[in-house]
Amino acid sequence: MTDTNRDIAVLGAGMHPWGKWGRNFVEYGLVAARAALADAGVDHLDVGYIAGADTIRNGYPGFVAGATFAQALGWSGARISSSYAACASGAQAIANARAQILAGLTDVALVIGADTTPKGFFQPVGGERRDDPDWLRFHLLGATNPIYFALYARRRMALHGATLDDFAAVKVKNARHGLNNPYARYRKEVSAEEIAASAIVSDPLRLLDICATSDGGAALVLTSMEYARKHGVSDPVRIKALSTVTPTFPKTVIDLPDFATDSAVAVEPQPRAFRSAIAHAAYEEAGLGPDELSLAEVYDLSTALELDWYEDIGLCEAGGAEALLRSGATTLGGRVPVNPSGGLACFGEAIPAQAIAQICELTWQLRGQADGRQVEGARAGIAVNQGLFGHGSAIIATR
């Protein structure tokens, strides 16, 4: 594949296994960063830019993650940035690094995200903030994350006839995919019967339908194409597109922490809802379409949300996700495997690391290094996320 003016190379990828380790998040980030540097064959003193994805649960060092990781690696004079965009934090850190490379300000960038999470579900940041919609959705609506996962699931059932069996089939698939992923927290097959027998968390979703909260870390070494060639890598994995577009008015599909949609009385709704617009922008930038994908890593906060993503990234028409799943197209060996890593179903949420971890998986798949879960002949993949407050991301990588 020929270079474009916006191609950058993924020279290194590294991760710390997901789990509940109870240690400082910096330790996870360092393990991942050192693994990525070793994979790239690059010394950290040669890194000109360090982009940290922030974790807001880990005090001041988490809010200035770029500086925290730079200090932990050893001050080197590198430029830094720190990014918080909820579940799209890692993608924004990648975007910052990509911009620095494309602007000619550095040839080598290191992107790091890591998190240490509390037991149980995520809570709002402490304090009383009655003008904060995230605080309000917990305290006014009582809408913890599993509640709005369930509301999305109910919407899918009402609009498209999804069933509990469809949701369970997503978990069965992803659990099977994650069996051979050494970085996954959960590496065990589950049956539809086990899912049905697990506790109801927020009807209709069972415990095994939703992702856990996890500790973990991920890192990437990104470089200019010229640097990669000089470094002896003539055909690296390339980031072809990165989209972080915001919603467009009127936003007529509700996403918490919003409490209502925009009115469409005077303005026609947009042809694409927010999540599909994120992916569409990436396809346009990359110059390819969903029919050219070899695989996809999507943000499966719940089994039902994975089905929504099939449609959002254009794998099928609206209402066609269940049939696509049942056809086997999204499992390993199918037309376009989705979440061959195992997804959040097997990893859980380590928020700043998630989008970075997805690109690690795309990198290993495109290199043919995803032992035990390899997508045969992988040439192009997409990774997508959605955060709160209009944050989202889509990244396309190719070989």
What are the start-end ranges of the E strands in the chain?
8-19, 49-53, 79-83, 108-115, 200-202, 205-206, 215-223, 237-243, 295-297, 380-386, 392-398
Query: Average pLDDT in the 361-382 region?
Result: 98
The two beta strands, 392-398 and 108-115, are unpaired
Q: Per-residue pLDDT tens for 305-321? A: 999 999 999 999 999 99
Q: Domain range holding 254?
A: 133-182+191-197+239-398
Backbone angles phi, psi at 212, to 5 degrees: -85, 175
Q: What is the pLDDT of residue 1?
A: 46
Flag the least confident range among 18-27, 62-71, 248-257: 248-257
290 preceded by a cis bond (ω within 30 of 0): no
Flag the least confident range among 61-75, 144-158, 167-181, 246-260: 246-260
Nearest to 61, CA basis, from 106, 39, 92, 28? 28
Confidence of residue 3 (pLDDT cuts 50, 70, 90): low
Residue 30 has pLDDT above 90, yes or no: yes
Q: Per-residue pLDDT tens for 4-14? A: 688 999 999 99
Q: What is the pLDDT of residue 390?
A: 86
Q: Based on the domain organization, do 166 and 307 belong to the same domain?
A: yes
Average of per-residue pLDDT values in the chain:
95
Q: Based on the domain organization, do 139 and 20 belong to the same domain?
A: no
Q: Based on the domain organization, do 94 and 137 belong to the same domain?
A: no
Number of folded domains that form the chain? 2
Strand partners, 382: 296, 396
Q: Based on the domain organization, do 225 and 249 belong to the same domain?
A: no
Angle at 202 between CA 201 and CA 205, to 5 degrees: 80
Q: Based on the domain organization, do 265 and 377 belong to the same domain?
A: yes
Q: Based on the domain organization, do 245 and 227 belong to the same domain?
A: no
Confidence of residue 140 (pLDDT cuts 50, 70, 90): confident
Q: What is the pLDDT of residue 133?
A: 85
For residue 334, the domain's CATH number is: 3.40.47.10
User: Which residue do the tokens 């925290």 mark?
Assistant: 68
Query: Average pLDDT in the 94-120 region?
Result: 96
Q: Based on the domain organization, do 21 and 140 belong to the same domain?
A: no
Confidence of residue 254 (pLDDT cuts 50, 70, 90): confident
Whether 344 and 299 have beta carbons less than 8 Å apart is answered as yes
